[in-house]
Structure formats: C-alpha cells, structure tokens
Structure 1
Amino acid sequence: MTPDGPLPTTADLAQGKAYPGHGVTVYYDAQRCVHVANCVRGLPEVFRPQERPWIQVKNADPQAIAAVVRTCPTGALHYALDGESPEAPQQPTTITPLPDGPLVLRGNLTLHTPGGEVRDVRAALCRCGQSENKPYCDGTHAKVGWTSGEG
C-alpha cells in the first residue's frame, strides 16, 4: 500500500492484446496509442509496425523490452516479466503538460473513466476536450489545431 492507495496489479496493467514470449508478455491497448513511437525507436527489432504480429518479443531480451515499454508515455504498452512483480509506479507521481498536447501522468494512478475505475502507472490525458476516448488523449488535438498557448 502506498499513500496513493494499493499498487496496480498485473491484471490492472494487462490491458489490450497480449504478445507473449519467453520471459515477458507485452500488452498493447491500441485505443490509448497516439504513435509517439518511443517503442519503435527504442527496439525496432521488436516493435515493427509494418509487420504482423507487429510486436515480436522473441527478438530481444525481456529486460530490454521492459525498459523500452516503460518509455511509452500513454500507457498503451505494458509488460509482465515472468515470475516478477508488475511494473512499479514512479515515485513521486508526476504530471507533465506537453506543449500543444496531453497531460502525461506517471505514478500510482487511479483514473475514473466512463468504463469505471482504472489502475495504472502511465497515462496521457486529453486537454483539448475533443478526444473520442476520454479521459485519454487520442491525438485529436493535432487534427483540430488545438494549442495550449505554451511555448
């Protein structure tokens, strides 16, 4: 238990399609992806958007995959390492507004969504008010020309 409540469990973080492999399973929630592409740049041999399946966990070490997944700002990607605890939340929790983009949250999160309460460790939340996947950012801010007035 933390001051922010219980830690998210593997079941909390295992949202979306599972890509199992030796030592690690990667989960991908396409609705939360805004194509920042940290995964593709970080491990192009694993994250291959032009191929099917697009996530090929056999092509890298489980720890390397976990490290790259943790760079996903939206929480579209999560991982579970065999025999280990789920991804630990960043401490302290941080909220970072991206210029002309979403609020990026990292920490022990409890989000109240139209589908119910969601426990997570990373999320990108809509600031423009136009997302079709509220409270999450879906990239609509760029399509509608929304700006935050920062920068």
Structure 2
Amino acid sequence: MDDAETDPWPPGERVKNYAAPGVTVRYDARRCAHAAECVNRLPKVFDTGRRPWIDPSQATPAEIAATIRHCPSGALHFSLPDGPEEHGPVPATVTALPDGPLFVRGEFEIDGHREVRALLCRCGNSGNKPFCDGSHLRTGWTSESP
C-alpha cells in the first residue's frame, strides 16, 4: 500500500492515494463530511482506529468501488487499472439537504476538474468553498436563514 503519493488537487492540499492490486483509493480529507458511509459499509478497509486508516488490500476492487460510490462528499474516489472509470448519472442532480449543503451527484466539473459527487456549501461560511466543511453546523445556519 502506498499512502505517500499525492495528487495536487485541490492546489496546495495533500490528497492521499492508497493502492492495492486492482484498485487505488484516493482520499481528500478536506472534502470529507464524516458521513461514515465508508466505515459503516466496509470497515475492514476503512478503519479510523488504524494507521493508515484505508487499507484497500482487505477487500475486492468491486467491494471497494461499491462502497466509495456511497461517499456523498466526493472525498473518496477509486480507480481500477482495467476500468471502468467512476461515473455518475447524466444529467447531474442537485438536492438541497435540509439545513445543510447541496448534494450534487452526476457528471459535472468544478474549476475544470471532473466530479461525480460533491457536497457544496449553501451557508456561505465554508473555509473550503465551494465544498461544505460543516460550517453550517457550527454557525447554526438553517435553510430558513437569510
């Protein structure tokens, strides 16, 4: 497993890649909303009590891909050397979560980068715009706020 590789997206941030035969998992900590879909669905791969916390050698590439597709924030992505590439529905859908961010799922671009899932800030307070960083919870922002 190689967690030393980094990807320059977003600029200036460390994005870690965890590789195992047949799959690479990409994790961007700044995008993580801590929804725990990964931990709850596949704890043998995603274990926050272990370092490194992602070990893709513990499951099949298909199991990992199926789990990552449930990550709402887009903090997790996968790549398979023989494909298929991760895709989202077309057209993309946007759902305003009650008292929370916009959940976008589908094929879209942000700042020239291809995306398939994202939680976008709706309160205006995120320190990681356009992505949600949970500021709405700290500030008490609600869907009814001005």
Normalised TM-score (structure 1): 0.83
1:119-134 to structure 2, matched below 5 A, reads 119-134=114-129
Structure 2: which 5+ runs fail to align?
1-6
1:145 aligns with 2:132: no
Q: Please state how far the C-alpha of 1:91 moved relative to its aligned partner.
A: 2.3
The Cα offsets for residues 71-126 of structure 1, whole Å up to 9 and x where unpaired, read as 001110000012113101212311011111110101111113xxxx2221111100
Structure showing greater relative contact order (alpha-carbon pairs closer than 8 Å, 6 or more residues apart): 1
TM-score relative to the length of structure 2: 0.86
Aligned to 1:19: 18
RMSD of aligned alpha carbons: 1.8
Q: Counterparts in 2 of 1:34-113, with a 5 A limit? A: 34-112=33-111
**Matched residues in 1 for 2:101 and 2:134: separation?**
8
Identity, % of aligned positions = 51
Letter of the 1:119 partner, please give it. Answer: R
Q: Which runs of 4+ in 1 moved over 4 A?
A: none
State the Cα deviation string for residues 31-51 of structure 1 (Å, max 9, x = none).
100101100001011100111
- Say which is worse superposed, 82-91 or 62-71, in terms of deviation: 82-91
The answer to whether 1:136 aligns with 2:137 is no
CA distance in 1, matches of 2:19, 2:117: 21
